[in-house]
């Protein structure tokens, strides 16, 4: 396994006198690889140039009209784009909410921004970007893979699609720009998912005779999960995670069921989900624990409002009883063992 270094970005911001994409050790490591003719992978799990556009006057962000989602700016075609329904629009010059001029600001960054910043920092460097935008065309991913393996670029910048399955003999450095982002996701699997992603992308470095190195950039350098990934300690991570799951009775110590109602009328959709919840609650099925009805973080997607609730089920036979209780005329979806409980 490659050696892993964890960089505290708070200290790097202080050294740089403000925001920077790249820590000093990562910049030095990339320069070193370029000089040797070796290659680098940079992971940032956010595509686009800027993540949102905000009005400094009324603090409103430009939203997708079809989804409860901020529009991201894509510099390649100078458009704002929704990453859920692919809606696009021109970049507004006037705030659509308060009408203020010259107050709209871009916030956050994605892979496009990182690629441009890398060229500004190291003008002679050759880069390829691999994300959903650059792989839309048929065989787009395969073409990028072939180009990078043929050494037509020094750095591959990409989202999580670059973390799995690729074998690049000349890649000796992997940089993860925001190694702690997924820790804020309110899902019991978030740490497991992040552990897998970081371990997988770290495994892209040093897969041949050349020694590999990995740099994690983070604002939480002492987080136990990052330390366990650094040490390659799967066993301790597994035991710790299993203890927490057992304490709070989460899978594999129960089965989870997510019931989601959807429709174009917000209140009607919420009422239908409450009705489903009530039906199960009144049945008093043994070994079933109900959570409250909530809206997911993105309440509306593709003009469909969504409300949901979770159930913890101790016996698989209870799930069959739940199915028989629910009204077939209502618009809802049942997801047994959902991958995401928050979405």
Mean pLDDT of 92-117: 91
Is residue 210 very low, low, confident or very high in pLDDT (cuts 50, 70, 90)? confident
**Residue 236 confidence (pLDDT):** 96
User: Measuring CA to CA, which residue among 238, 263, 243 is closest to residue 253?
Assistant: 243
Q: Could you tell me which of 132, 129, 165 has the C-alpha nearest to residue 147?
A: 129
Computed over every residue of the chain, the mean pLDDT equals: 91
Statement: residue 341 has pLDDT above 90: no
Can you tell me the distance from the alpha carbon of 16 to that of 285, in angstroms, rounded to the nearest whole number?
59
Residue with tokens 């804020």: 184
Least confident of 221-230, 273-282, 325-334: 325-334
Domains of the chain in sequence order: 3-48+109-245 (3.40.50.300), 255-336 (3.30.70.600)
Instruction: Give the per-residue pLDDT at 277.
Output: 93
Question: What pLDDT, on the 0 to 100 scale, is given for residue 293?
Answer: 96
- Calculate mean pLDDT across residues 12-32: 94
pLDDT tens string 111-123: 999 999 999 999 9
Of 160, 138, 158, nearest to 148 by C-alpha is 158
Specify the DSSP class assigned to residue 63.
B
Question: Tokens standing for 276?
Answer: 């489903």
pLDDT confidence band for 182 (50 / 70 / 90): confident
pLDDT category, 316, cuts 50, 70, 90? Answer: confident
So what's the pLDDT on residue 209? 79
Q: How confident is the model at residue 1, as a pLDDT?
A: 80
CB 51 within 8 Å of CB 110: yes
- Of 144-158, 184-198, 229-243, 323-337, the range with the lowest mean pLDDT is 323-337
Q: What pTM does this model have?
A: 0.90
**Cα–Cα distance between 250 and 313 in angstroms, integer?**
10
Band (339; pLDDT cuts 50, 70, 90): confident
Q: Which of 80, 159, 158, 73 is nearest to 108 (CA)?
A: 73
- What sign does the dihedral 270-271-273-278 (CA atoms) show? positive
238, pLDDT greater than 90: yes
Average pLDDT of the residues in 70-91: 93
User: In this prediction, what percent of the chain has a pLDDT beyond 70?
Assistant: 99
**Cα 340 to Cα 343: distance, rounded to the nearest angstrom:** 6
What's the pLDDT score for residue 26? 96
In this structure, the number of other CB atoms found within 10 A of the CB of residue 101 comes to 9
Determine the average pLDDT of the residues in 200-215: 88
- Residue 234: what pLDDT? 94
Query: Is residue 342 over pLDDT 80?
Result: no
């Amino acid at each position: 396994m490659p050696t892993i270094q964890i960089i505290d970005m708070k200290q790097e911001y202080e050294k740089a006198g403000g925001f920077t994409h790249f820590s000093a050790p990562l910049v030095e490591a990339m320069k070193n690889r370029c000089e040797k003719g070796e290659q680098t992978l940079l992971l940032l799990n956010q595509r686009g140039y800027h993540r949102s556009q905000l009005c400094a006057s009324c603090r409103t962000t430009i939203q997708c009209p079809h989804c409860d989602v901020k529009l991201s700016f894509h510099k390649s075609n100078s458009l704002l784009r929704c990453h859920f329904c692919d809606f696009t629009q021109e970049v507004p010059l006037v705030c659509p909410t308060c009408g203020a001029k010259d107050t709209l600001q871009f916030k956050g960054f994605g892979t496009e921004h990182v690629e441009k910043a890398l060229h500004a920092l190291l003008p002679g460097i050759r880069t390829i970007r691999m994300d959903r935008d650059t792989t839309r065309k048929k065989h787009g991913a395969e073409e990028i893979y072939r180009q990078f393996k043929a050494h037509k670029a020094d750095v591959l910048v990409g989202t999580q699609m670059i973390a799995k399955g690729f074998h690049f003999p000349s890649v000796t450095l992997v940089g993860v720009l925001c190694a702690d982002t997924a820790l804020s996701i309110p899902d019991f699997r978030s740490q497991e998912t992040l552990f897998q992603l970081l371990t997988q992308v770290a495994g892209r470095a040093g897969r041949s005779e050349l020694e590999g190195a990995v740099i994690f950039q983070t604002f939480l350098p002492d987080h136990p999960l990052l330390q366990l990934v650094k040490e390659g300690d799967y066993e301790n991570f597994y035991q710790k995670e299993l203890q927490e799951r057992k304490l709070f009775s989460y899978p594999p110590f129960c089965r989870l069921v997510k019931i989601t109602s959807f429709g174009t009328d917000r209140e009607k959709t919420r009422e239908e989900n409450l009705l489903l919840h009530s039906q199960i609650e009144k049945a008093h099925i043994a070994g079933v624990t109900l959570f409250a009805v909530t809206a997911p973080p993105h309440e509306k997607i593709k003009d469909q409002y969504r409300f949901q609730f979770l159930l913890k089920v101790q016996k698989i036979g209870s799930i069959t009883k739940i199915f028989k209780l629910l009204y077939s005329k209502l618009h809802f979806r049942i997801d047994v063992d959902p991958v995401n409980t928050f979405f």
